[in-house]
Amino acid sequence: MSVHDAPLLQVEGLQVRFPVRTERRKAWVHAVEDVSFSLAHGETLGLVGESGSGKSTIGNALLGLVPPTAGRILLDGHDVTSARGPSLRELRRRVTMVFQDPLASLDPRRTIEDSVREPLEIHRLSPGRERGRRVADLLDLVGLPRRFADHYPHELSGGQRQRVCIARALAGDPEIVVLDEATASLDVSVQAQIMNLLQDLQRDLGLSYLFISHDLAAVEHMSHRVQVMYLGRLMESAGREEIYAAPGHPYTQALLSAIPADDPVVERGRRRILLRGDVPSPVSPPSGCVFRTRCPLAIDVCAERVPEPVGLGAGHVAACVRAGERVPAGT
């Protein structure tokens, strides 16, 4: 597939904070802090990190489901950060989402045809008489028999339901699909089928994906570029081959060390990087580098300032004062 130079999506300095009330004062959850990235036509950008790192919040912000506190979101060069009314409706036609749990994503009282037809009605696409044919074509596109149109979600398997969710996401001919843990709730064999389907659709329709996942093996299979997040901030960004072959940030190294090897002999000889302690509260993140409280390479300066991205090669950057140094295994 070809990836054009001009970015389709640009996110600049995105910040998302949520107000909370503590016993003594009003505070803020620092969900996303100063995150910037771009997404090209036909590209898949993998976004990885532990639960609570801000991945899903970024996806929700792209669709206007949560308001950014600061920063800009540009789609084809147009600022859609504060889209409202018809502009927001058009944004949600061009950028759609597939969620983690397909059963929770579908209305149990509506047939599959009703669920897939809904975006066509909302966006006033296809004349009324042709919408049934469009639904049948979408089911064909995702590999489901047309007879499933009259079924209800509980009558389908998990993988079939996720195919329905993908068909619904494609109904408005979007340019970007946010895949928020879209394979996490499926069996391993079904995960592979869904990922292959998504790659086929990307090739045939020219789609761009934001692939949000904590499954590093799935991200490696799907993505052209990978960005690693921790506690709302970007830790590292690089092409897929570079980041898996030579991770430059201590956090990325720890994540990759947890991927089991295919060869049992190799797996028995591997030593993981074990991070100490728990993820700090996003209400009161650490000063300086947010990863420093668990980082095996942390030094005094890490507490004093937020680290600037350090270049490690073409398109490869890590936000760490000791970027590129290797963390000893078993640390």
**Residue range 158-200, pLDDT digits in tens:** 999 999 999 999 999 999 999 999 998 889 889 999 999 999 9
pTM of this structure: 0.92
CA atoms within 13 A on the CB side of 207: 29
Residue 233: name the closest of 84, 71, 35 by CA: 35
Would you state the pLDDT for residue 246? Answer: 93
Q: How far apart are CA 224 and CA 80, in angstroms?
A: 25
Measured CA distances, 79 to 7, 42, 74, 207, 308 (Å): 13, 21, 4, 20, 26
**Residue range 136-162, pLDDT digits in tens:** 999 999 999 999 999 999 999 999 999
Residues 156 and 148: beta-carbon distance below 8 Å: yes
Q: How far apart are CA 211 and CA 188, in angstroms?
A: 17
Residue owning tokens 């910037």: 36
Q: How far apart are CA 39 and CA 327, in angstroms?
A: 30
Residue owning tokens 């790659």: 199
Residues 114 and 150: beta-carbon distance below 8 Å: no
**Residue range 13-59, pLDDT digits in tens:** 999 999 988 777 789 999 999 999 999 999 999 999 998 899 999 99
Would you state the pLDDT for residue 25? Answer: 77
Q: In what helix (H) or strand (E) does residue 91 lie, and over which residues does it extend? A: helix 85-94
Q: Is the pLDDT of residue 1 over 50?
A: no
Lowest model confidence (mean pLDDT) among 4-8, 286-290, 313-317:
4-8
Angle at 199 between CA 194 and CA 222, to 5 degrees: 85
Q: How far apart are CA 118 and CA 171, in angstroms?
A: 9
The first and second tokens of residue 218, run together, are 């799935």
**Residue range 238-293, pLDDT digits in tens:** 999 999 999 999 999 999 988 877 777 777 777 788 888 889 999 999 999 999 99
What pairs with residue 238 in β-bridges? 226
Q: Is the pLDDT of residue 3 over 60?
A: no
Question: Buried b vs exposed e over 195-206: b needs ≥16 C-beta within 10 Å?
Answer: bebbbebbeeee
Q: Helix count (H) and strand count (E) of the chain?
A: 11, 12
The first and second tokens of residue 39, run together, are 């997404």
What pairs with residue 230 in β-bridges? 233
